[in-house]
């Protein structure tokens, strides 16, 4: 079990930073490969890869730009405006050249030998707002999505080719601006309105979540749930599925301690929290972590039908993590007061030494 920083990797399967603070979400991600007939399953050997959606939001913006370009070309011809025709052609070819020069393909690192049995590669992602995403997966999936560095293959890989294309693009931009500046006033207004509309469209598409842009059908994502425990009434209830399909089960917590406990309950481990800095390295927190780990290991997992779907549910023991932490903190404070050091003047001039009460008593 490893904890990683979400800033270093793109999380396509959850926008957990947009959830309420101290939320915990659990998912299981499995690799699916495409067969020769185009179907996907977990056993067929193929190169099913993560790609952009063919009919994603960006495609519609591209079609909008192409439509506006053809429309403005038709209007310029209708108005017998040669400068507008030349300007539209220059700007259109500039956009095409820029797209070709920057076209790239995402390459995720994959294990070459798929026949070897894989160990679990579960991952915990901690977000700056105190949210946790617990991912149950094997090492292959963890390598592709979280650990191994991704590669980008550009269509124009040579630097000199890219610079030549940039040179032609700059020339087209200069001539396009000159032609549009000499076109009629009405055509200038039409071009300005079209560019503003296209720019707004690109900004709106960029604001959409990343999952709407990528074709993630090569991965199967299954939602897991955590049993809800009311610390006041001591009652256990099943979670209610949310209307949002991608994030049906989100565990909401009042504080960071409860969120850490839910992540421990799912992973059954505490080493990831201790080594990653998710909790302070103090005696109180160490005692609390040991108690939380014992409770999590003893907790069971069952399958329940929630909303007509069979869901893996992590049972919550009747244990209050906040109350347990307060008890550990109180015990740690009492131990610190008993072993509080005192200042004793040494025989050496201008020297002070800190010794425990027991040591000081022996020297007095």
pLDDT tens-place string over residues 40-75: 444 333 456 778 888 889 999 999 999 999 999 999
pLDDT-based confidence at 345, cuts 50/70/90?
Answer: very low
pLDDT in tens, 83-99: 999 999 999 999 899 98
Question: For position 178, what pLDDT does the model report?
Answer: 95
Confidence of residue 188 (pLDDT cuts 50, 70, 90): very high
pLDDT at 49: 73
- How big is the chain, counted in residues? 364
Q: Greater confidence, 311 or 43?
A: 311
Report d(CA 202, CA 88) in Å as an integer.
19
- Indicate the burial class of 29 (C-beta count within 10 angstroms; 0-12, 13-18, 19 or more): buried
Q: CB burial class (10 A; 0-12, 13-18, 19+) of residue 135? A: buried
* Spatial contact of 216 and 12, defined as CB atoms under 8 Å apart: yes
Model pLDDT, residue 113: 61
Q: Which residues of 171-203 are buried (b: 16+ CB within 10 A; e: fewer)?
A: ebeebbeebbeebeeebbebbeebeeebeebee
Please provide the distance, in angstroms rounded to a whole number, between the alpha carbons at the two ends of the chain: 52
| Inter-residue contact 301 to 315 (CB < 8 Å) | yes
Q: What is the mean pLDDT of residues 196-222?
A: 88
Return d(Cα 76, Cα 71) in angstroms, integer. Answer: 9
Max avg pLDDT among 71-80, 101-110, 246-255: 71-80
What 32-39 contacts at long range (C-beta under 8 Å, 24+ apart), as own/partner pairs, is 32/217, 32/218, 32/219, 32/220, 33/218, 34/218
* Confidence at 80, pLDDT banded by 50, 70, 90: very high
Please tell me the predicted confidence (pLDDT) of residue 276. Answer: 82
The mean of the pLDDT values for the chain is 81
Question: pLDDT tens digits, residue range 280-300?
Answer: 888 899 999 999 999 999 999
SS3 199: helix
> Exposed, middle or buried: residue 160 (CB in 10 Å: 0-12, 13-18, 19+)?
exposed
- pLDDT, tens digit, 9 for 90 and up, residues 130-154: 889 899 988 888 888 887 777 788 8
Instruction: Say how many C-beta atoms besides its own lie within 10 A of residue 290's C-beta.
Output: 12
């Amino acid at each position: 079990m490893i904890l990683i920083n979400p800033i270093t990797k793109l999380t396509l399967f959850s926008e957990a930073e947009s959830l309420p603070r101290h939320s915990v979400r659990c998912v299981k991600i499995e690799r699916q490969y495409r067969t020769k007939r185009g179907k996907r399953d977990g056993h067929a050997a193929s190169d099913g890869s993560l790609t952009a959606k063919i009919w994603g939001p960006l495609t519609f913006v591209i079609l909008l730009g192409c439509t506006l370009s053809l429309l403005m070309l038709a209007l310029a011809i209708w108005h017998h405006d040669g400068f507008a025709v030349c300007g539209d052609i220059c700007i259109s070819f500039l956009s095409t050249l820029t797209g070709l020069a920057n076209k790239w393909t995402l390459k995720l690192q994959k294990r070459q030998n798929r026949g070897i049995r894989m160990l679990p590669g579960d991952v915990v992602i901690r977000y700056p707002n105190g949210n946790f995403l617990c991912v149950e997966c094997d090492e292959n999936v963890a390598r592709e999505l979280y650990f191994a560095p991704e590669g980008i293959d550009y269509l124009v890989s040579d630097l000199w080719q890219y610079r030549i294309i940039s040179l032609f693009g700059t020339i087209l931009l200069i001539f396009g601006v000159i032609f549009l500046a000499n076109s009629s006033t009405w055509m200038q207004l039409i071009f300005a309105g079209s560019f503003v509309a296209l720019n707004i469209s690109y900004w709106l598409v960029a604001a959409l979540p990343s999952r709407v842009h990528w074709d993630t059908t090569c991965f199967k994502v299954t939602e897991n749930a955590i049993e809800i425990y009311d610390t006041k009434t001591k009652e256990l209830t099943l979670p209610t599925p949310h209307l949002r399909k991608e994030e049906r089960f989100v565990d909401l917590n009042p504080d960071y301690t409860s969120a850490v406990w839910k992540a421990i309950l799912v992973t059954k481990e505490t080493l990831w929290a201790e080594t990653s800095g998710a909790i302070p390295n103090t005696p109180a927190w160490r005692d609390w972590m040991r108690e939380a780990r014992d409770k999590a290991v003893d907790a069971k997992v069952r399958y329940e039908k929630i909303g007509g779907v069979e869901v893996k549910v992590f049972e919550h023991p009747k244990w209050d993590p906040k109350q347990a932490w307060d008890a550990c903190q109180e015990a740690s404070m009492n131990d610190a007061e008993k072993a509080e050091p005192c200042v004793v003047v040494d025989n050496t001039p201008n020297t002070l030494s800190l010794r425990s009460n027991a040591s000081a008593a022996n020297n007095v």
